[in-house]
Copies of this chain bind each other. A is one copy, B any other.
Amino acid sequence: MELSKLDAIDCKILEVLQRDGRISNVDLAAEVHLSAPQCFRRVRALEERGVVRGYRALVSGPSLGLAVTAFVSVNIEGAAFERVRDIERQLRDFPEVLEIHTVSGDSDYLLKVVASDLRHLGQLLTDRLMQIKGIADVRSMVCLEEVKPPSALPVSGT
């Protein structure tokens, strides 16, 4: 967890694994100029320390019929502040809601959502999110173009 113990080789490993999470240990070892067992020990240590939180396949939304991405800002009614955790749980339970952040600024929450089309998005926002008691001011920003796709975290040592 502490960066104190992340040296340049750890950083290089993280950079490679963020690019190709399925690289073989021997190829990774070669890329970072380490012997395979050494490299393996480093990777396991990074996993155990929680620096590497897991590995995910990146799936294309459109291939799954999810053509629409939107960011949705949500406010909570003043009278509902004691039920925020319950509201959060309800939001979290929607599979279309991929991310939920509480944020500073004009709105309380910012959500990233996907939907198959605009009709589905509208139905999700109007008939489901807005029906949650305590939610007000649902505003959506539909993504028109992906100028930079979700990218790797910058690693200082490079």
Contacts and interface: CB of A to CB of B under 8 A. Distances in A.
Contact of A101 (B62, B104, B147): B147
A23 to B, nearest CB: 9
A153 B101 contact: no
A92 B53 contact: no
Of A70, A146, A151, most B-chain CB atoms within 10 Å: A151
B51 A153 contact: no
A64 B62 CA distance: 32
Contacts of A71: 71, 101, 103, 110
A35 to B, nearest CB: 21
A141 interface: yes
Interface string A130-158: 00000000011111111111111111100
A1 B1 CA distance: 39
Please tell me how many copies of the chain the complex holds. 2
Contact of A104 (B14, B99, B103, B141): B141
Interface string A97-134: 11111111101011010100000000000000000000
Given A57-B14, A57-B21, A141-B110, A148 B99 contact: yes
Contacts of A140: 104-105
A27 interface: no
A65 B99 CA distance: 22
